[in-house]
Amino acid sequence: MSELIHYRLEEGLALIGLDRVPVNALDQSLRAGLSNACERAAADPRVQAIIIHGARGLFSAGSDIGEFGTGASFAEPDLPRTLVRLAGIHKPLIAALGKVALGGGLELALACGYRIGEPNLRVGLSEINLGLLPGAGGTQRLPRLIGAESALNLILSGKQIDAENARLLGILDRVSTSPERLLDEAREYAYELIACRAPAQPAEAWPEPADGLPDDFLVRYRAEHEPSWKSRLAPRLVLSAVEAACLLPLDEGLLKELALFKQAESSRQSKALRHVFFAEREAARIPGVRDDLPLRSITRVAVIGAGTMGGGIAMCFANAGIPVALLERDGKALDRGLTMIRDNYESSVRRGRLLPDQVESRMDLIFGTLDYADLSDADLVIEAVFEKLEVKQQVFLTLEKVCKPGAILATNTSSLDVDAIAATVARPHDVVGLHFFSPANAMRLLEVVRGKATAPDVLATTLDIARRIGKLPVISGVCFGFIGNRMLEPYAREAHRLVLEGATPAQVDRVLTDLDLNMGVFSMLDLAGIDVNFLVRDSNRTASAHDESYCRLGDELYAMGRYGQKTGRGFYLYEGRNRRDDAEVIALAERLADELQISRRPIDDQEILERCLFMLINEGIQLLDEGIALRTGDIDLVWINGYGFPAHLGGPMHYAEQLGLGTVLAGLQRYRNALGKYGEMWFKPAPLLERLVAAGRKRIERF
Ligand code: 3HC
Ligand code: NAI
């Protein structure tokens, strides 16, 4: 028997334990082992029932994602046919599910006639997150088990549900009393099934999966949900597969599912989402830092400044059950901050996302103070005061006096030099940047800014605590704007310049949202605040001193008090949540173009797309070359999770590789030549891009 399978015969039962670390991904070797073990049990007359379980507890995270897009994903024995065979064995199969049963792992369980899970189990069909659909019977067997509507909701959300919800839905027959008792209770279940001569496969709970639903259910479902799918392929394929489950017999439905799965697997979108999956895991690795480096213990946190960011940051820790002291400079500001936090929680209650008593338990974890002495036991302090170097340096000088040795001192600056802040204290190795995104309690991205003195264990500890509070940490070096905002600058520059040359804000935004970005540049600036953007730009004027033309539009809007949504006027006019184009902004663009002697012309969508994206990509490549970003995947994660770049395009770096690096370089050179002095000044291809193209490389990497 394969070493990936533990096979045990026990008084009428065959116990088949899957043992492929870390998550029992069903690669070709595990599939082969499982298939052989099941055949052995099926053929052994002493075996009356078969239990499949995770040898180390965890059941299975599904197919091996690394096999997709290679010949190995359907190498024999492939998962769909293995599961058809398992479902045809004439003895009851019981899946004993520990920790996780996801994707193909859950499909394996669905092919078994009976399922018992431990109380902490999480189950789901998470394929959609990889641009796939369940391809080993999930879209056919699940609707027959829980009905088409519940199955669709589970498959399309890609969400994991807990054991109790899985039992209520009908996915689990039983939940064990504890994780430790799972296997014992699976045995007891098996003996009960043997005693009552239960069939190998019980009757389907929903032989007609669409029973009780209106005839046009799927048509209406599509009409309701399609706008949110944008150009994603996988949700549409899921719908076709579930439709097949409603219309076709199982064997035909399985064939249809397989064809749809293969279409999804070979799509660019799935390739991009698989890249994102592995990039997220890679982001946790710090080159040169051992995985087993001892971490500093973080049990108490403090946040300085209870404004927009400080309040949101405090909520992140309270939400994770970690006590947090929130320090302000005066009582009024503190009260305002605490009230804002409570209001935020209460609005979550109104939206049904939080229970009223959870508001109190979270507020109890946030301790407002005006006294630095209360920070003496904090393990991690995050400063979120005004964006002024002197103010932050003053705060750090105080922190140095009051904080215990070994406390991590973090700054949430969005643009200032983390090394200049660290230099104010005698322990710069304890200083790190933690750049949260607004709203801090909701946004998943956290840029962890590594100063030149930041100690490796400080970095590793902050990555760990970031994950504990549900964030996706990405490491950045020190530079103006770090990874995200530094790339935003050339991207937004092009957008502004295009409006001076003749495009409208709405046209630019539409081109970008047509690519499935969550928002165009101008909607984003109106949301974040034209004033905020102005102040950041103002503190870095030297960088654009030789050509400020493109900044004029934002500067003038700022001078007019048009700060965006908060003032009801920015690049657009706002009435409540509705926005309208504004002729005044176009007139302003015309006047500025005249003053700056920029000739205006109709601009086509393709030019907008290329100029904005090529500049974004070019800056990303430059950041990699400078070592500010460690990996292209990190850059992609920042733009997907911080700026709404579509995950199914894989992020700007992956997108560039798909376009072809030669295409990007040729585009930059074309605009450099076409746009006169402006082109010469700004369309400078990153030297790394030129080297990559010259060497015929297809992937963006430092060399
Ligand atoms: N295939 C290959 N590797 C996988 C994997 C999978 N399905 N699931 C996890 N891994 C790897 C990770 O890459 C990571 O490897 P690393 O240590 O070398 O970086 C390791 O397992 C541990 O994973 P995490 O760091 O994510 O550990 P967590 O404990 O945080 O999470 C998990 C565990 C919940 C299982 C999470 O990894 C997960 O969600 N995995 C993906 C599950 C999934 O999407 N399954 C569907 C696969 S597609 C499918 O089954 C198709 C079928 O329908 C035909
Ligand atoms: P804010 O103006 O809303 O809040 C700042 C708070 O700090 C105020 O409540 C103020 O009273 C308090 N404060 C000022 N000096 C203090 C001191 N010496 N001691 C104690 N408290 C003090 O500002 P916001 O937007 O929360 O920004 C804070 C920091 O976060 C800035 O560095 C900013 O660049 C950064 N940031 C802001 C983002 C945003 O979108 N607003 C996004 C990411 C980072």
**What's the pLDDT tens digit per position in 343-355?**
999 999 999 999 9
Nearest ligand, CA 137: 1
Phi, psi angles (nearest 5°) of residue 14:
-105, 125
Q: How far is CA 639 from the centre of its chain?
A: 10
DSSP class of 606: H
Q: Find out whether 658 and 636 touch, Cβ atoms under 8 Å.
A: no
DSSP class of 407: -
Distance, CA 63 to ligand 1 centroid (Å)? 9
Q: Give the span between the Cα atoms of 36 and 64, in whole angstroms.
A: 19
Mean pLDDT calculated for residue range 176-182: 98
Say whether both 466 and 509 belong to one domain: no
Average pLDDT, the chain: 96
Say whether both 434 and 540 belong to one domain: no
Q: Using the predicted structure, report yes or no on whether residue 74 has a pLDDT greater than 70.
A: yes
Q: Is 365 inside any structural domain?
A: yes
Say whether both 437 and 504 belong to one domain: no
- Please tell me the residue having the least CA distance from ligand 1 atom 10: 23
Q: How many CB atoms lie within 10 A of CB 238?
A: 27
Say whether both 50 and 111 belong to one domain: yes
End residue of a domain, out of 211, 244, 265: 265
**What's the pLDDT tens digit per position in 547-563?**
777 789 999 999 999 99
Which strands form 100-102's sheet, in the order they lie side by side?
100-102, 122-124, 161-162
Q: Which residues are catalytic?
A: 107, 127
User: For residue 477, what pLDDT is reported?
Assistant: 97
Closest CA to 61 of 87, 28, 98, 14: 98
Nearest ligand, CA 309: 2
Q: Give the span between the Cα atoms of 139 and 253, in whole angstroms.
A: 9
The preferred substitution site among 344, 374, 414 for testing ligand 2, maximizing ligand atoms within 8 Å of CB, is 414
Nearest ligand, CA 159: 1
Strand partners, 416: none
Q: Is 325 inside any structural domain?
A: yes
Half-sphere exposure of 253 (CA within 13 A, CB side): 26
- Please tell me the residue having the least CA distance from ligand 1 atom 52: 104
User: For residue 548, what pLDDT is reported?
Assistant: 73
Q: DSSP letters along 416-475, please?
A: S-HHHHHTTSS-GGGEEEEEE-SSTTT--EEEEE--SS--HHHHHHHHHHHHHTT-EEEE
Helical (H) or strand (E) element with 193:
helix 182-195
Q: Is 687 inside any structural domain?
A: yes
Q: Which residues line ligand 1 (CB under 6 A)?
A: 22-23, 25, 61-66, 79, 100, 102-104, 107, 126-127, 129-130, 132, 134-136, 138, 281
Give the model's confidence band at 235: pLDDT under 50 very low, under 70 low, under 90 confident, else very high.
Answer: very high
Respond yes or no on whether the N-terminal peptide bond of residue 207 is cis (omega within 30° of 0). Answer: no
- Please tell me the residue having the least CA distance from ligand 1 atom 18: 281
Q: Find out whether 597 and 558 touch, Cβ atoms under 8 Å.
A: no
Q: Is 651 inside any structural domain?
A: no
End residue of a domain, out of 454, 476, 498: 476
User: For residue 544, what pLDDT is reported?
Assistant: 63
What percent of the chain has a predicted confidence (pLDDT) above 70? 99
Q: Give the span between the Cα atoms of 612 and 507, in whole angstroms.
A: 13
**What's the pLDDT tens digit per position in 448-491?**
999 999 999 999 999 999 999 999 999 999 999 999 999 999 99
Q: Which residues line ligand 2 (CB under 6 A)?
A: 304-310, 327-329, 333, 337, 384-387, 391, 395, 412-414, 436-438
Phi-psi region of 676 (alpha: psi -120 to 50; beta: other; left: phi over 0): left
Q: Using the predicted structure, report yes or no on whether residue 195 has a pLDDT greater than 70.
A: yes
Q: Worst-scoring range by mean pLDDT, 281-295, 374-388, 653-667? A: 281-295
The sign of the torsion formed by the CA atoms of 152, 153, 159, 164 equals negative
**What's the pLDDT tens digit per position in 384-433?**
999 899 999 999 999 999 999 999 999 999 989 999 999 999 999 999 99
Say whether both 251 and 310 belong to one domain: no
What lies within 8 Å, CB to CB, of 608 at 6+ separation is 498, 503, 507, 508, 511, 512
Say whether both 448 and 491 belong to one domain: no
Instruction: Considering only the C-alpha atoms of the chain, give the largest distance between any 2 of them, rounded to a whole number of Å.
Output: 92
Say whether both 129 and 42 belong to one domain: yes
Q: How far is CA 355 from CA 347, 350, 643, in A?
A: 11, 9, 30
Q: DSSP letters along 555-584, please?
A: HHHHHTT--BGGGTBSSSEEETTEEE--HH
- E strands of 13-168, at which residues? 13-18, 49-54, 93-97, 100-102, 114-117, 122-124, 161-162
CATH of the domain at 424: 3.40.50.720
End residue of a domain, out of 476, 510, 526: 476
CATH of the domain at 623: 1.10.1040.50
**What's the pLDDT tens digit per position in 265-323?**
999 999 999 999 999 999 999 988 888 999 999 999 999 999 999 999 999 999 999 99
Say whether both 221 and 314 belong to one domain: no
Nearest ligand, CA 326: 2
SS3 category, 642:
helix
Distance, CA 365 to ligand 1 centroid (Å)? 33
- 435-445 b/e (C-beta count within 10 Å ≥ 16 → b): bbbbebbebeb
Residue matched to tokens 């700022």: 558
Domain that holds residue 232: 5-265
SS3 category, 137:
coil
Q: Using the predicted structure, report yes or no on whether residue 101 has a pLDDT greater than 90.
A: yes
What lies within 8 Å, CB to CB, of 269 at 6+ separation is 131, 232, 233, 234, 648, 649
Mean pLDDT calculated for residue range 571-586: 92
Q: Is 270 inside any structural domain?
A: no
Closest CA to 305 of 433, 391, 378, 389: 391
**What's the pLDDT tens digit per position in 501-535?**
999 999 999 999 999 999 999 999 999 999 988 88
- Please tell me the residue having the least CA distance from ligand 2 atom 30: 384
Q: DSSP letters along 329-393, please?
A: SSHHHHHHHHHHHHHHHHHHHHTTSS-HHHHHHHHHHEEEES-GGGGTT-SEEEE---S-HHHHH
Distance, CA 569 to ligand 2 centroid (Å)? 24
CATH of the domain at 259: 3.90.226.10
Mean pLDDT calculated for residue range 66-85: 96
Say whether both 237 and 316 belong to one domain: no
**What's the pLDDT tens digit per position in 599-617?**
999 999 999 999 999 999 9
Q: Using the predicted structure, report yes or no on whether residue 545 has a pLDDT greater than 70.
A: no
Mean pLDDT calculated for residue range 176-197: 98
Closest CA to 185 of 131, 114, 91: 114
Distance, CA 336 to ligand 2 centroid (Å)? 13
User: For residue 532, what pLDDT is reported?
Assistant: 86
Distance, CA 388 to ligand 2 centroid (Å)? 9
Say whether both 467 and 507 belong to one domain: no
Say whether both 176 and 127 belong to one domain: yes
User: For residue 213, what pLDDT is reported?
Assistant: 95
Q: Find out whether 626 and 508 touch, Cβ atoms under 8 Å.
A: no
Q: Is 527 inside any structural domain?
A: yes
Distance, CA 309 to ligand 2 centroid (Å)? 6
- Please tell me the residue having the least CA distance from ligand 1 atom 29: 23
Q: How far is CA 237 from the centre of its chain?
A: 22
Q: How many CB atoms lie within 10 A of CB 48?
A: 19
Q: Is 277 inside any structural domain?
A: no
Q: Is 650 inside any structural domain?
A: no
> Into how many domains does the chain fold?
3
Q: Using the predicted structure, report yes or no on whether residue 543 has a pLDDT greater than 70.
A: no
Say whether both 138 and 236 belong to one domain: yes
Respond yes or no on whether the N-terminal peptide bond of residue 439 is cis (omega within 30° of 0). Answer: yes
What percent of the chain has a predicted confidence (pLDDT) above 90? 94
Q: DSSP letters along 610-631, please?
A: HHHHHHHHHHHHHHHHHTSBS-
User: For residue 539, what pLDDT is reported?
Assistant: 75
